Structure 1
Amino acid sequence: MIKKGKVTKKDNVVNFPTKINDLDKEIEAVIFAAAEPLDVDTIESKISKKANVAKSLEKLQQEYSSRGINLVCIKNKWSFRTSPKLSTLMTQEKTVEKKLSRAAIETLAIIVYHQPVTRAEIEEIRGVAFGTNTLEILMELDWVKPGGRKDVPGKPIQYLTTDGFLSHFNLQKLSDLPTVDELGAAGLIDSSSVDNAIFGTSKFFKEKQDEKKEDIYSNIDEMLNSTLDEEEKDS
């Protein structure tokens, strides 16, 4: 037999139908409209009459426990949150493009042309100290990495570019980067007042030097061949 006002399940467990009174509705509305979680005292100050707010909160929490939105209490403050079971539906992935700061661009350029280079050397070239996160940003992008320590007092960390840097900028090797003459021709720098030596040391400079050696060897081969041809003609 089913009595009016309550429901009996097959397992004989009796559940009384939930009824939200006006006070519960006020508390519900106050929490819903709040921009941040609220404690009990704050909730009490916003409702129309004094009441057992803590008891109403427990009642509402139970009411919302099986819904898409739950009433949760974190560090004695109450707020509505999406049910953890449905959190995947609320997830949205979005790619946001951010421009590098001027400090990051200048730091990258210095590392590219002076690598391996220490933080102190970068600051000396720039003429100004930079934030601690500048190098971290470049390393997070996989454009820069630590490259051992310099053999000087203090053993500072040296930085150099990665294969990821070459891949991102579509470079086969560091020597494909524009030289000081090319930058001057493009009007990007005043090449008359810039020493070629500062545009490339270590690996970059070595690649340029290797290219020069190859040119010298090819010229020698041409000279030898032409000399042998002349000797054959004379004989």
Structure 2
Amino acid sequence: MATRRTRTRPTLDTELEDLPPEMRWREWMRRVEAVVFAAARPVGRDALAAVVGRGCNLDLLLDDIRGELRTRPYEIVSVAGGYQFRTRPGLAAAVRAAGVVDDPRPDLSRVELEALLVIAYYQPITRAELGVILGREIPHETLAELRDQALVAPGPRSPQPGAPHTFVTTPAFLEHWGLNSLADLPELERLRDDGLLSKAAILARPPDDGPA
């Protein structure tokens, strides 16, 4: 019976104590930029901390990298709790028009987009609650498509009778829309202040029967 070999990470001198402080900082910048550049998904702080010294201030290091990239057509942004290279917003249309990369945006119907928007703002939410807020029944196929694209996932069971499933958004949802966290959803604070994100209040409203 063959023994399974485990792959070990190569050792890396992170402290670089043999280098002068300025050269050490420059090398840390190069390493962090290389890691973010090479990664296909947003890179978390723990991964970046693994390639620099214990005394390195990652926030200051990232600020210096962003400063050097200020004149470049791409930047390092905070996405889905990590860091990723993104084309600057003003150039995204040019990149798509050139046809050299696939459009990463999910191909969703209007019904799927509406359901995803409600889930994002009111999660965790059941399919029945989605139907009440949107004013129509949401097909199982709609939620299945959102799950297939990894934009939503099962959330905690609802305390309602029968403990129905709820739905929540995923890190992939944040990544697709360039958000670092759900707190970055457009006008989230204003909607909260206006009481428009109270799911209980919305579900308690009488149905709109339309004009008399």
**TM-score, normalised to structure 2's length?**
0.41
- Higher relative contact order (Cα pairs below 8 Å, separated by 6+ residues): 2
Task: Kindly name which structure, 1 or 2, has the bigger radius of gyration based on alpha carbons.
Answer: 1
**TM-score, normalised to structure 1's length?**
0.37
**Structure 1 or 2: more helix by fraction:** 1
